[in-house]
Every structure is written in structure tokens, then in C-alpha cells.
Amino acid sequence: MQLGLVGLGKMGGNMRERLRNAGHTVVGYDRNPDVSDVASLVDLVDRLEAPRTVWVMVPAGAATHGVVQQLATLLKPGDTVVDGGNSRWTDDEKHAKQLGARGIGFVDAGVSGGVWGLKNGYALMVGGEKECVDRLKPVFDALKPEGPYGYVHAGRVGAGHFAKMVHNGIEYAMMQAYAEGWELLEKVDSVDNVREVFRSWQEGTVIRSWLLDLAVDALDDDEHLQKLRGYAEDSGEGRWTVEAAIDNAVPLPAITASLFARFASRQEDSPQMKMVAALRNQLGGPAVEGASLGGGGGGGGGAGDDGPGPLLMSAGARCSYNHEPTRAPAPEGT
């Protein structure tokens, strides 16, 4: 099959190679002339035979909007555009309407696999009309991993990117869980080989995963992660996942907490913790580091003899005014 591919970065370039290895003809365009097969989008479209398919792999937002707008003027009725980037599903609906007015089909494809996709294949979550999706099945089959899994026609336009968004939200939470476990293991004196503990989990445990394998690889490179700064960006899809949960009244406590943890990582001197420290000091708590804040009544505590008071107690402490201890949860079955 013949395919135009716009955007030849790490993923797009590897996808071009994987498709060519499977026998497909791929004409690639990128602003970097060193990797591009043609000089412009116009040249790319001219090189393709009708009905044309152009797969877009550029950053979500303005870059994708711009490419789709250009393709809308260059392609003809019966052609198809595939957005394989990390666009928001609501953008898919707009693009499908814009292209559909000109008789051009639109398919959204959530793509997962990163830099390993060339060798291992890409997981594909696809949205769009059945006719358009079915015509592209040879391309999807070439890109996905070997075997029966790794590809799904998730539903109508927007479903592919929505599924990929939820996938990335789950990824946020899984990363956060591994990170929290690692920090706790590093903190205690009794565990002196945290890296090998993580390695021992790679076989036979219920938490084994590709992310765990990558964590072990990272610890092999830098056993205590001393070369890294504790700062984590977010791609935007975690935010979209939480927003979709709010819109649909679906509780996502783990994914939401993992997103907020990334926000916290960007604060070298947390404004929120300044307020918490100030309140603890006012209530007669421990001394505040780096500042001397007055008040609080000293010694016994400004909130009375019970210390910090109900509003600032930890969840593991007492949780009711009659000071009855909370009941411990029953152990899980695994």
C-alpha cells in the first residue's frame, strides 16, 4: 500500500522504516530536509496515487491543526487523513468535520510504543468510520506487534485518541506507584539493595510489567538516580484524562494524584508547604525551618491539648471528634 507520512521524528521515522520493511511504499515529509523524502506537502501529495492516505505524526495542537488545514486544500474527495499524534479527541471531531465537508475521510490513531516500536511494533487504538478504517487495515497490520493483539478499532471519530489518553493516564498512575515504592525502599535502613529488589519483581509477581523492566534499566544506569533532578513534565494527556473524568463524574483518585505529584515536582520551594508549615507552627507544632513565625501559644499548642487538631491530622491517625481509632482495612486477597 502507498502512504504519505508527515513528521519524521523518533516515532514517525521509525514508523516509516517499519512500514517499508513490510513492503509498503512510504513518502515522508519533514521540515528537516536531512530526513525528508520530498521538499513540501505539495510534493508529497503529488507523489501519491488516488485514493491517497496521509498519516500525520506532528505535535498535538497548533502543529496538527496547521497540517490538517493544508491537507484539506491539497487532497481530493475519497482521500483520507490519519492523525497518529497525541491530539485531544475533541480536536478529532473538528478535523473530521472540516475534512468531511470536502469529501475527505478522517481517522484518529492513538499510537503507543515509543522508540521501541520499530522492533516490537506499535499498539494502535483507532477511531473513525468503518469504511475508512478497513481500507487502512494493511497499514495497521504492518505497524502493530506480531500476534492477535495490539490493534483495536475503538469506535467512531475521537475514540482512538480518547483510548490512548486513558492509556497514558493509567501510565501516570503506574509510574507514580513504582516511584513511591522505590523511595520508601531507599529510605529504610534495613533494605540495602533496592535495585535488586526491583529486579526480583520482574518474574513471578503481580506487579511485573514493561514499566518495571524500564525502571530496572534506569537503576542499572544510575543505581540511586543521583544523576537526575526530581522534576517530571506532563504531556497534557494526564490533564485531559482528569478533565474527562470530571465531565463524566468518574472518580480517578490514583490518576489525579499522580498528575498532581508531577506538578509538585516542579516546585523547589512549595508555596502550599509554606502555609502548612505556618499553620503547624501557629498550632504549636514543630519549629519552622528557615523562618521564625510567632504566635501559637507555645508548648501546649494554640489549638488545645490535642495538638494539631482534627483538620490537620493524618489519615492514619484519629478521624472523629470522639477520638475513636479508625478501623484497619481488611487485607487484600492477593
* Residue 302: pLDDT over 50: no
Q: Which grid cell sits at 29?
A: 515529509
In the structure, what pLDDT confidence band is assigned to residue 289 with cuts at 50, 70 and 90?
low
Q: How far apart are CA 310 and CA 236, in angstroms?
A: 36
In the structure, what pLDDT confidence band is assigned to residue 235 with cuts at 50, 70 and 90?
confident
Q: Which grid cell sits at 169?
A: 493516564
Mean model confidence pLDDT for the chain: 85
**Of residues 324 and 286, more confidently modeled:** 286
Residue 171 among the catalytic residues: yes
Taken in order of first residue, the domains within the chain and their CATH numbers are 2-157 (3.40.50.720), 165-265 (1.10.1040.10)
Could you tell me if 122 and 112 are in contact, meaning their C-beta atoms sit under 8 angstroms apart? yes
**Of residues 326 and 83, more confidently modeled:** 83
Residue 219 vs residues 177, 182, 190, 319: alpha-carbon distances, Å: 16, 10, 19, 39
* Residue 69: pLDDT over 60: yes
Q: What are the tens digits of pLDDT across the range 242-283?
A: 999 999 999 999 999 999 888 888 888 777 777 777 777 777
Could you tell me if 9 and 127 are in contact, meaning their C-beta atoms sit under 8 angstroms apart? no
Exactly one of 17, 93, 129, 171 is catalytic; name it.
171
Could you tell me if 31 and 53 are in contact, meaning their C-beta atoms sit under 8 angstroms apart? no
In the structure, what pLDDT confidence band is assigned to residue 294 with cuts at 50, 70 and 90?
very low
Q: How far apart are CA 290 and CA 16, in angstroms?
A: 55
Q: How far apart are CA 254 and CA 173, in angstroms?
A: 6
Query: Which backbone phi and psi does 53 adopt, to 5 degrees?
Result: -130, 125
* Residue 295: pLDDT over 60: no
Report the SS3 class of residue 86.
coil
Q: What are the tens digits of pLDDT across the range 17-41?
A: 999 999 999 999 999 999 999 999 9
Residue 223 among the catalytic residues: no
Q: What percent of the chain has pLDDT over 90?
A: 72
Q: For 316-328, what is the mean pLDDT?
A: 35
Burial class (CB in 10 A: 0-12, 13-18, 19+), 95: buried
Q: For 213-229, what is the mean pLDDT?
A: 92
Parallel/antiparallel/unpaired status of strands 53-56 and 25-29: unpaired
**Of residues 180 and 331, more confidently modeled:** 180
Q: How far apart are CA 111 and CA 194, in angstroms?
A: 33
* Residue 318: pLDDT over 50: no
- The helices-and-strands tally (H runs, E runs) of the chain is 13, 7
What's the length of the chain? 334
Residue 111 vs residues 61, 70, 115, 235: alpha-carbon distances, Å: 16, 23, 12, 14
In the structure, what pLDDT confidence band is assigned to residue 233 with cuts at 50, 70 and 90?
confident
Exactly one of 164, 180, 203, 227 is catalytic; name it.
164
